[in-house]
Structure 1
Amino acid sequence: MTKGIPDPPHHACCDLYAFGTCNNHHAPIFSVRPGIFAEEALVHAIQLVQQAYQSTTLAREDAAAPARRLLGGTQLSLEMIEALLNKVLDGLVLLPVNPAAPQRPPRLKQPIRGEDFR
């Protein structure tokens, strides 16, 4: 006998995602909760990338020449990630959410400098 109705497709995007285990030495400290809207997650990811870019900029100011080149490559990668995330967010078919997602952070115009903190 054959089954007349196929099984529904499996969507693995709604499960809890945990991280921060220190190479599995303890239970996860952090998690991404199920039910987070994609728009909210992308806005938060853009903010995280911008913060990583700013931290890399500060580290690059104090680094020696070989490390400065590596940090420059990291900065370029972070800029590319931010551009990709913004394009994905632009192309996302947004559904009405309650409450509305946070505002998208503005594009970085000028990185912070070490002397801003001294």
Structure 2
Amino acid sequence: MSSGPSAPGSSGSGSAAFERLVVERARAAERLTALRLEFARLLEYSADVGADDEHDIEGASMPFEREQLRATLRQAAGKAEEIDAAFARLAAGTYGTCTLCGQPMGAGRLEARPAARTCARCA
């Protein structure tokens, strides 16, 4: 039974790359869910203590925490988008090929960063 075609630039099979991406996407989804829940709780807490951040016991830390969490959420969403783009490259047959120089990335790079778009040289 064949394990699928090899991804360009990798010594692994296409199905192995797919499995790595599935695992990475599941982790990213879990992280996004946890961060969204944390953000909702933070907003709920903010509403409970009032909108006056200046006179809040927490002081300026509440707005800072909200912005920090927003930034972390954006970063996690970006990672999920990178993984989705890697799935698209896998489906198109270009997974494992550097999007800048067009050279194979190599199995080590793809094992370390399954959603990588570029080879180590171009990164």
TM-score by length of 2: 0.35
More helix by share: 2
More strand by share: 1
